[in-house]
Amino acid sequence: MNMNEILTIAFMMLFVPVLGLFFMGLERKITARIHNRIGPPVYQQFVDVMKLFSKRENISHSWVFDIGPIFAVVGVLATMLFIPMGGFPMLSFHGDLIVIMYLMVISGLGMALGAGASGNPNAGIGVMRSLVLMMAYELPFVLTLLSVMLYYNTTSLGEIVAKQGETGWGILALPLSALVADLCLQGQFGEKPFDQPVAPHEVATGPMVEYGGKHLGMLFLWHAIAVVMEGSLFVSLFLGGAIFFDPSTITGMVLNLLLWIVLVFMMFFIAILINGVMLRFRIGQAFAFYWKWPTVLAIIALAYVMVVSAW
Amino acid sequence: MDYMSFARPEFAIMLLFVGALITYFAGKFSSVARYVLSLAFSGLAVVLIALMYDKEIGLMWTPSSMPVNISIYIQTNPLSWFFAIILSGLAFLVLMYSIPIMKGKRMENWFYTLSLLLTGSMLGVVFSGDLLSFFIFWEIMTLSSYLLVTLAGKRADKAALNYMIISTAGAYAMLIGMVMMYVRFGTTEFSELAAMLPTASAGFIWVSVGLIAVGFLVKSAALPFYVWAPPAYSEAPDGFTPLFSGGLSKLGPYGLLLFMYGMVGLSSLTSMGTFRGVSGFGYAVALLGTITSAIATLYAISQDDIKKLLAYSSISQIGYILMGIGIGSSLGVAGAMYHVLNHALFKTVLFMGAGVLIYTTGTRKMSQMGGLATKMPLTFLTMLISIFSLAAIPITGGFGSKWLLYEAAIQKQFVLIVPLAFVASVGAFLYSFRLLQSVFLGELPERLEDAKDPSPLVLTPMLIMASITVLFAIVPGIPLSVIASIESYIGIEPISVDSWYSLFVGESFGAYDAMMVMNVMLLAMMVGFGLFVFGGKERKVDQHDTFLSGEVYEHHENLELHFAGSFYRPIERLFEPYLRKRLEMIYDAFGTGYEYISEGIRRLYTGDVQDYVYYVVGFLGMLIIIAGWWW
């Protein structure tokens, strides 16, 4: 690792949470506009996080309860560093897509652990729903990933980005896979109709129900990083990692970074728009949905890749 | 005398067989002698086997009074050594754990005797160098494990009988295959067979190795034969299940590796027909393993019995091993063998943990436990690490093997196997979290107020294995360099282990830099803990001091609620119509049909002498007619 890489990583570790909180603020604003409300200011999330971290007293049930938010942040930070971001490959040549997929789970399992330790039934229901939802979208998502991996004949995300630089963006070559990946992204973001784990009106924000103070502040950060990370995964897979300008010059680097921010937000924006007008599925319906249409589409996409690569 | 000269495979086997006998008689008089002796014998076996590392020594013995000219070969090679060290190490640790757990249980003395006998016969299986001794040791192993299951008492009888019947069927299939080989080649020795088998026709190999493989698939509980495993694993004594699932089930994969690659050889397997660069035989094994893995996972998700959940999980994980063996590339076999090691480590800890929980709470139902994480922190921690390894979280060893298996399957472009394996793996998150949630998290029932961690004798083996699991996450190269030497021994291109810390596939196909992942995790942990400490101080509250939307918490005397009781109801409801058609039904139908036919045959035996005379006369008449026809 050279100095540049270390600087990039340090920069991204500071920048991504800020960007994510900004996105979350925009989400509240946009949703409010869809609902014909004024909505909170865009910086509301920053105020909230600062308020939560400055609480003088924090409620805790046990040490396992404390581990939850810590692991959520740790897992999502560790995963983030293996995904190409802002036109930089980050550490994506040190761990491929399979490493990323399993690193992504750490934060979820960690939070589930903490939420379960609280002994609140709502938290248990929320955790169950989030695990079931994960199993639901994982099948079409894996089929999609497989089509991308077979098309570019590599499992390394950095390599996939590099190959898109040569042959054009993946969304043009594999439109159907991109569509399925975006459907899965809705579930990964946890936006309606797939917000069953949180479902404020049913299970009182599910896993988060017992958390307050600095614990909740950390969960805010977790969500902020996760939004950017999941968006960036899609951008790396199908939108060429947002590398459009020549990355060897300083202006090109800055322009790429700006383009990346726009593209990641665009992915989030699509999810917000759907979220703004949809109702919530029951968890069983969500499962049946994912294992039906997205899976069929993903299989067609995979068959297409098999035919293309056989030629 | 040089102590190294004792490091011979036949000594290790004899030591355990004789040890079983001595332990039995000594145990009649003193229980302390029984514990000390069984630990000493199994520990000594581990030392002997460790000293055999990287050696190829053996023994040939030709019994003079045999009617046929058959010799017995006992030998060690890299493949046998790898399995022998895992099995003997597990046996030692499990015996140590059993001392408090099995204390005062039914037929305690027999437990130690049979455990030592079982370990000896398992070592016999991996060390034997010819078909005859392989089969004999295999049968001693089946028999002693059957007896060990029955030790649990009357409830286990049916499960044990199921296990025995299906094992026997598998053993008969295996015997037929072996006899076919002996009749064709006139030898039982593995090295001679390895030279001659590739010259045989493809049909002969398919049938003979296929029949032998049935025996191995039975032991590894693969798809059509797995019905014995869930009841046998869950009903067996708590001291035996860790060895049963962690150790004994690995002999199926061992046998497949030995016969498919050690004897038939990769080149003649692939010459029998290939599917996308993988031999047809191997593809069948791989597909069977993956389907087993996916189906067993679905069953595991809906279990409430802790041992049954782990049993289904065990079946599913061995499915992964079969998948790697079937693929047969250097990555696939390395992944399979590495998963053998990982599964031995984590599943043994999990079954030990289950034993501890049953010992503490007095029930196998997870919905009657809860909130034990703070009461039994060390049990929780070791089981958590093992569950991470089971779920292939990159901070544990279990990830390395799953990674290799996935890379192998993706490299071969298996579009059916990869998604199935992934779904099974996500399912593993679901059932392992169910275990965590309902046992360690949630509400602590009042009757478990004074539950506490078990004695050091139980915790030490669990901690040892959990720390090895974490160690392998940092240096996956250490076990893989041993595995690479085995691969070159069985004629598969060895996996390249450039560094102890990182794994790479091809030029730029895939990468898993274990050291980098661990460094990143450490960095992230510093940030995470830093943030946490940066926040204000904490106030601990009671477990019932929770937000319940204004409802007041009440404890109902007659109502036992557990919110992880039927945890995954929403998806169970979706899968129920499919899972209701269980494989057991086919076996049951077969059994009923068999009984019906037998009942019909029984009616012939009327007990009337006149009827018998009619039968005899009728039979003779038929003979005369047939004879007249021919001549």
pLDDT tens digits along B453-477: 888 888 999 999 999 998 888 888 8
CB contact under 8 A, A103 and B517: yes
Question: Would residue B538 count as lying in a domain?
Answer: no
Return the pLDDT at B552: 66
Which domain does B621 fall in, by range?
A: 582-630
Closest by CA position to B229, among listed B320, B318, B135: B318
Do B245 and B311 lie in one domain? The reply is no
Closest by CA position to B209, among listed B177, B255, B242, B165: B177
* Average pLDDT score over residue span A86-93: 75
Q: Is the pLDDT of residue B121 over 90?
A: yes
Collect all residues of chain A within an 8 Å Cβ-Cβ radius of residue B384: 113
Pick the last residue of a domain from B494, B522, B539.
B494
Q: pLDDT higher for A106 or B509?
A: A106
- Category of B277 on φ-ψ map: left (φ > 0), alpha (ψ -120 to 50) or beta: left
Return the pLDDT at B123: 92
Closest by CA position to B75, among listed B129, B149, B28: B129
- The angle at the Cα of A22, spanning A21 to A23, to the nearest 5 degrees, equals 90
pLDDT tens digits for A4-33? 788 888 888 888 899 999 999 998 899 999
B202 contacts B163 by C-beta, under 8 angstroms: no
Q: Which residue of A has its CA nearest to B374?
A: A62
- Specify which residues B361 forms β-bridges with: none
Return the pLDDT at B117: 92
Three-class DSSP category at B234: helix
Range from A218-227, B273-282, B496-505, B551-560 carrying the lowest mean pLDDT: B551-560
Q: Which two tokens stand for residue B319?
A: 């499915």
The distance of A30 to chain B (nearest Cα, Å) reads: 29
CA–CA separation, B502 vs B518, rounded Å? 11
* Average pLDDT score over residue span B305-317: 90
Range from A4-13, A184-193, A197-206, A298-307 carrying the lowest mean pLDDT: A197-206
Collect all residues of chain A within an 8 Å Cβ-Cβ radius of residue B535: 53, 55, 58, 213-214, 217-218
Q: Which residue of A has its CA nearest to B380?
A: A64
Percentage with pLDDT > 70 across chain A: 99
Burial class, B614, CB count within 10 angstroms (exposed 0-12 / middle 13-18 / buried 19+): exposed
Nearest to A306 among B415, B426, B508 (CB): B415
Burial class, B275, CB count within 10 angstroms (exposed 0-12 / middle 13-18 / buried 19+): middle
pLDDT tens digits for B191-244? 888 888 888 888 888 888 889 999 999 888 888 888 888 888 888 888 888 998
Return the pLDDT at B194: 87
Return the pLDDT at B507: 62
* Average pLDDT score over residue span B311-327: 91
Percentage with pLDDT > 90 across chain A: 9
Give the A:B interface size as CB pairs under 8 Å.
242
Number of other CB atoms surrounding residue B31 within 10 Å: 16
SS (H, E, C) B239-293: CCHHHHHHCHHHHHHHHHHHHHHHHHCHHHHHHCCEECCEEHHHHHHHHHHHHHH
Collect all residues of chain A within an 8 Å Cβ-Cβ radius of residue B443: 119
Collect all residues of chain A within an 8 Å Cβ-Cβ radius of residue B541: 59-61
* Average pLDDT score over residue span B87-108: 87
Q: Is the pLDDT of residue A50 over 80?
A: yes
pLDDT tens digits for B254-266? 999 998 888 888 8
The answer to whether the bond into B454 is cis (omega within 30° of 0) is no
Closest by CA position to B75, among listed B484, B480, B489: B489
Collect all residues of chain A within an 8 Å Cβ-Cβ radius of residue B543: 61, 118-119
Instruction: Give the helix ranges, DSSP H, for B302-416.
Output: 306-327, 330-361, 377-390, 398-411
Question: Would residue B524 count as lying in a domain?
Answer: no
Do B487 and B367 lie in one domain? The reply is yes
Pick the last residue of a domain from B251, B268, B287.
B251
Percentage with pLDDT > 90 across chain B: 17
B241 contacts B155 by C-beta, under 8 angstroms: no
In angstroms, how far is the first alpha carbon of chain B from the final one?
Answer: 74
Q: Where do the structural domains in chain A lie, given as residue ranges? A: 3-310
CB contact under 8 A, A116 and B508: no
CB contact under 8 A, A288 and B574: yes
In angstroms, how far is the first alpha carbon of chain A from the final one?
Answer: 39
DSSP state of B439: I
CA–CA separation, B197 vs B165, rounded Å? 30
Collect all residues of chain A within an 8 Å Cβ-Cβ radius of residue B509: 153-156
A233 contacts A79 by C-beta, under 8 angstroms: no
- The angle at the Cα of B379, spanning B86 to A135, to the nearest 5 degrees, equals 80
* Average pLDDT score over residue span A69-98: 83
Return the pLDDT at B321: 92
* Average pLDDT score over residue span A49-61: 83
pLDDT tens digits for B587-600? 888 888 888 888 88
Q: pLDDT higher for A300 or B542?
A: A300
**Average pLDDT for chain B:** 85
Enumerate residues 365 to 384 of chain B having a beta carbon within 8 A of any beta carbon in chain A.
371, 373-374, 380, 384
CA–CA separation, A116 vs B374, rounded Å? 13
CB contact under 8 A, B510 and A287: no
Do B18 and B166 lie in one domain? The reply is yes
Question: Would residue B526 count as lying in a domain?
Answer: no
Do B223 and B294 lie in one domain? The reply is no
Q: Is the pLDDT of residue B84 over 80?
A: yes
Return the pLDDT at B560: 63
A201 contacts A285 by C-beta, under 8 angstroms: no
Return the pLDDT at A1: 66
Pick the last residue of a domain from B494, B511, B528.
B494
Work out the pLDDT band at B122, boundaries 50, 70, 90. very high
Question: Would residue B80 count as lying in a domain?
Answer: yes
Q: Which residue of A has its CA nearest to B400?
A: A99
Burial A242-277 (b: 16+ CB within 10 A, else e): bbbbebeeeeebebbbebbbebbbebbbbbbebbbe
Return the pLDDT at B559: 63
With an 8 Å Cβ cutoff, is B629 touching chain A? Answer: no
Collect all residues of chain A within an 8 Å Cβ-Cβ radius of residue B546: 118-120, 209-210
Do B221 and B317 lie in one domain? The reply is no
* Average pLDDT score over residue span B420-426: 87
Range from B59-63, B154-158, B308-312 carrying the lowest mean pLDDT: B59-63
Say how many CA atoms lie within 13 Å of B549 toward its Cβ: 10
CA–CA separation, B477 vs B496, rounded Å? 10
Do B226 and B332 lie in one domain? The reply is no
CA distances from B522 to A126, A217, B55, B359 (A): 29, 21, 39, 36
Return the pLDDT at B551: 67
Nearest to B540 among A60, A112, A120 (CB): A60
Q: Is the pLDDT of residue B1 over 60?
A: no
Closest by CA position to A291, among listed A280, A281, A278: A281
**Average pLDDT for chain A:** 86
Total structural domains within chain B: 3
Q: Is the pLDDT of residue B607 over 60?
A: yes
Q: Which residue of B has its CA nearest to A56?
A: B536
Do B121 and B183 lie in one domain? The reply is yes
* Average pLDDT score over residue span A137-156: 88
Q: Is the pLDDT of residue B500 over 80?
A: no
* Average pLDDT score over residue span A193-212: 80
Return the pLDDT at B594: 84
- Category of B441 on φ-ψ map: left (φ > 0), alpha (ψ -120 to 50) or beta: beta
CA distances from A52 to A15, A56, A74, B541 (A): 20, 9, 19, 19
Work out the pLDDT band at B571, boundaries 50, 70, 90. confident
Collect all residues of chain B within an 8 Å Cβ-Cβ radius of residue A53: 531, 534-536
A164 contacts A87 by C-beta, under 8 angstroms: no
Return the pLDDT at B118: 92
* Average pLDDT score over residue span B93-114: 86
pTM (predicted TM-score): 0.89
Q: Which residue of B has its CA nearest to A204?
A: B549
* Average pLDDT score over residue span B490-518: 76
Nearest to B524 among A74, A132, A209 (CB): A74
With an 8 Å Cβ cutoff, is B415 touching chain A? Answer: yes
Q: Is the pLDDT of residue B433 over 70?
A: yes
DSSP state of B442: S
Do B314 and B243 lie in one domain? The reply is no
